[in-house]
Structure 1
Amino acid sequence: MKDYQKVTMHAPKTPMNRRAIPANATETMWYAADGWPIRRIDWQASTPPRGSLLFLPGRGDHYEKYLETLAYYADAGWHVTAIDWRGQGASGRLLDDPQVGHIDDFATWIADLRTFWDAWKRATPAPHVVLAHSMGGQLAMRALVEKAMDPDAVALSAPMLGIQTGGLPLALNHAVAKLIVALGKGKQAAWKVSEKPLSPMSMRGKMLTHDDDRYEDEVAWWALRPEVKLGPPSWHWVERAMASIRLLERPGALEAVQTPILLLATTADQLVSTKRVIADSKRLPHAETLIFGEEAAHELLREADGVRDQCLQRIDAFLDQHAPRP
């Protein structure tokens, strides 16, 4: 991607304060089937509407991190919705320690998504598309496999279809995680700080984006809304994440997905396995890829303008093709 800096800029048409909720966006709570509160944010579609876009964030994320991108799509005429997954952002916590990310099983998130999708699709204009990042991408792919949602098109940013395992087989890492959980440490943080074992917090920004200002947006939101901050995952989360990833290895699982999917990734990703993203794209019947190199880190939609704008341009073209304006 040597010429990525030459693409057309895709900034929103109106000025965007990334550290304030836009006046035309509405924050509310939606309640899952068991009554669990799930925080959401919505921009109403323009008239006539372009369609509806659901954004699914990554592990530890909260939707404030992606306001700039959400506003971009709202400005383009989409009805935009984003949610905080159960147990993170402002959708509550699942452990006594509010800084440890946890879930009983990824199937719980799939169940939440299934119920939310059904209600959201009925209430919003077609076509319906999904944009998801990292863990959100893994859950989106699994939801497609399990027919928990039926979007017209899906775009995935650095999807967690695999994780970095230090060169060791995923099955071996999974066995170790299972052992640690069996020893009663499932609710303990899998590591101390940052997004990766043994990495200091001072290196976290460089693992996520080359854009210092966009990285600092997240830190600013931690000060503005301390309840959205989340630290490392629990060992149980790690074990369940590997189990969910391995579910997609089943022969025929991805091959049966008929939804058009765009996968964006970077070979410099220190968190998810881009090799797995590329391999899985070849199993999908209707997949396209956009792969970056050293110019891009994990959070592609929060990267420096050259990379981010190319992502937006490619997503726009993909959605125009597979989810055209009514």
Structure 2
Amino acid sequence: MSELPQINDDILHPTPDNPAPEDFTAGYFAGHRGARLRYALFRSHILPARGTIVLLHGRNEFIEKYFETIRQLNDMGLWVATYDLRGQGGSERLTKDPRKGHVRRFSDYEKDLEIFLEQIVLPDARLPFFLVAHSTGALIALSAAPRLSNRISRMALCAPYIGFHNQPASEKLVRPLARAMAWTGLGGMQLGGDHRIIPFEGNGLTGDRPRFERNIELYKTFRELTVGAPTARWVHETLKAASRVSLQAHLTKITIPTLILAPVLDGVVPYRLQEELSRNFRAGQLITVTGGRHELFQDKDIYRAQAMAAIETFMPGLDGGLDIFETAA
């Protein structure tokens, strides 16, 4: 790790309305096939540390969007290690047009995660290691989980991206279209419009206006951290992975105790799919957040607090804290 850049001020982008947690190291690491990925490690002021959260973002998200959540996790005595997914945030873009949300193979995401654990988390963070992931990040975690049991103690997956609704075209139509485009050399074309800046009214992401407006201001101020519509290849690869991880044959291979934080009013991923996933997931426990929307960590305090409380109760379970699985049995 000593060979990686350590100049924090040039890497993260705090603002007066969105300050960074105090004690952090930021830099870049080489992901799969040498992709330059931006990361940060945030240390808790509480000693001894209760462990480290590996935080995986959703599509078109970036480290700065999670400063508030990271500070709260630090206040729980947890370190946080996180990075921007390839092709978005402060990480290297994968096409000539930086506005495209793209990935070559879904497995590239998984290999990036494994490299991050080996090169950044294992040498420099505090045991035990937990994983918290949102949306696309949760899909990555589900896909990689059968190979992570010797490194990750527990997982909390918020609104895992295992399908979608409330879009201009239905998933039933988009799946074969994206597959055909990916197979015929059109995988680099974008599907849908550029919806980085949307109005608060009617959004399916969050019911909290101040947090929504804070994030929109981040999108406007740091446009280079954002991407527009996903490519056909991205859609095809992620939906293919979503189908695979939802199969009971895959879920039975996951032995890491897992929470599924499922917002009932999710405007992106149908709650029904998250509920079905939990029924086939022996290591999984569904936590229903009634009234919550897709971005629980950006939602109203009443819903966000439920997610954070579940994480605080569940993650430090190895030190004798309350075990949700035991109480639910």
Q: Provide TM-score, normalisation by structure 1.
A: 0.85
Query: 1:175-226 CA distances to partner (integer Å, 9 max, x unpaired)?
Result: 222123345432122101227xxxx933687221011111122222234423
C-alpha distance in structure 1 between counterparts of 2:172 and 2:208, whole Å? 35
The answer as to whether partners of 2:248 and 2:280 remain within 8 angstroms in 1 is no
SS at structure 1 position matched to 2:224: helix
SS at structure 1 position matched to 2:229: coil
Structure 2 residue ranges without an equivalent (≥5): 1-14, 322-329
Amino acid in structure 1 at the alignment position of 2:40: I
Partner of 1:175 in structure 2? Answer: 176
SS at structure 1 position matched to 2:20: coil
Deviation at 1:318, TM superposition (A): 1.4
SS at structure 2 position matched to 1:110: helix
Amino acid in structure 1 at the alignment position of 2:20: I
Q: What is the RMSD computed on CA atoms of the aligned residues?
A: 2.6
Partner of 1:109 in structure 2? Answer: 109
Query: 1:84-132 CA distances to partner (integer Å, 9 max, x unpaired)?
Result: 0011000021112211100001100101111111231243221110110
SS at structure 2 position matched to 1:144: helix
Amino acid in structure 2 at the alignment position of 1:44: R
Structure 1, 217-226 or 235-244: larger mean CA deviation: 217-226
SS at structure 2 position matched to 1:42: strand
Amino acid in structure 1 at the alignment position of 2:155: V
Q: 1:290 aligns with which of 264, 287, 292?
A: 287
Query: 1:34-70 CA distances to partner (integer Å, 9 max, x unpaired)?
Result: 3221111111244211111110000111111111001
Partner of 1:12 in structure 2? Answer: none
Deviation at 1:170, TM superposition (A): 5.7
The answer as to whether partners of 2:146 and 2:255 remain within 8 angstroms in 1 is no
1:4-19 → structure 2 map (5 Å cutoff): 19=18
Partner of 1:21 in structure 2? Answer: 20
Structure 1, 225-234 or 296-305: larger mean CA deviation: 225-234
Q: 1:273 aligns with which of 270, 273, 281?
A: 270
The answer as to whether partners of 2:104 and 2:234 remain within 8 angstroms in 1 is yes
Structure 1, 261-270 or 244-253: larger mean CA deviation: 244-253
Q: 2:230 aligns with which of 230, 233, 236?
A: 233
User: Could you say which structure has the greater relative contact order, defined with CA pairs below 8 angstroms and 6 or more residues apart?
Assistant: 1
In structure 2, the CA distance between the partners of 1:231 and 1:172, relative to structure 1 (3 Å rule), is closer
Partner of 1:151 in structure 2? Answer: 152
Deviation at 1:289, TM superposition (A): 1.5
Structure 1 residue ranges without an equivalent (≥5): 1-15
C-alpha distance in structure 2 between counterparts of 1:187 and 1:142, whole Å? 23
Partner of 1:320 in structure 2? Answer: 316
Partner of 2:241 in structure 1? Answer: 244
C-alpha distance in structure 2 between counterparts of 1:281 and 1:129, whole Å? 19
The answer as to whether partners of 2:263 and 2:288 remain within 8 angstroms in 1 is yes
Partner of 2:75 in structure 1? Answer: 75
In structure 2, the CA distance between the partners of 1:19 and 1:31, relative to structure 1 (3 Å rule), is same
The answer as to whether partners of 1:52 and 1:126 remain within 8 angstroms in 2 is yes
C-alpha distance in structure 2 between counterparts of 1:189 and 1:317, whole Å? 41
In structure 2, the CA distance between the partners of 1:135 and 1:306, relative to structure 1 (3 Å rule), is same
In structure 2, the CA distance between the partners of 1:76 and 1:187, relative to structure 1 (3 Å rule), is same
C-alpha distance in structure 2 between counterparts of 1:107 and 1:261, whole Å? 21
In structure 2, the CA distance between the partners of 1:23 and 1:122, relative to structure 1 (3 Å rule), is closer
SS at structure 2 position matched to 1:156: strand
Partner of 1:304 in structure 2? Answer: 300
Deviation at 1:322, TM superposition (A): 5.0
C-alpha distance in structure 2 between counterparts of 1:24 and 1:147, whole Å? 28
Partner of 2:7 in structure 1? Answer: none
In structure 2, the CA distance between the partners of 1:28 and 1:204, relative to structure 1 (3 Å rule), is farther
2:36 counterpart of 1:37: yes
C-alpha distance in structure 2 between counterparts of 1:215 and 1:241, whole Å? 26
C-alpha distance in structure 1 between counterparts of 2:149 and 2:202, whole Å? 34
The answer as to whether partners of 1:38 and 1:83 remain within 8 angstroms in 2 is yes
In structure 2, the CA distance between the partners of 1:317 and 1:75, relative to structure 1 (3 Å rule), is same
C-alpha distance in structure 2 between counterparts of 1:135 and 1:65, whole Å? 15
Partner of 2:189 in structure 1? Answer: 188
SS at structure 1 position matched to 2:252: helix
C-alpha distance in structure 2 between counterparts of 1:180 and 1:321, whole Å? 46
Aligned pair count?
A: 305
C-alpha distance in structure 2 between counterparts of 1:99 and 1:34, whole Å? 21
Identity %: 25
Deviation at 1:169, TM superposition (A): 9.0
C-alpha distance in structure 1 between counterparts of 2:281 and 2:183, whole Å? 35
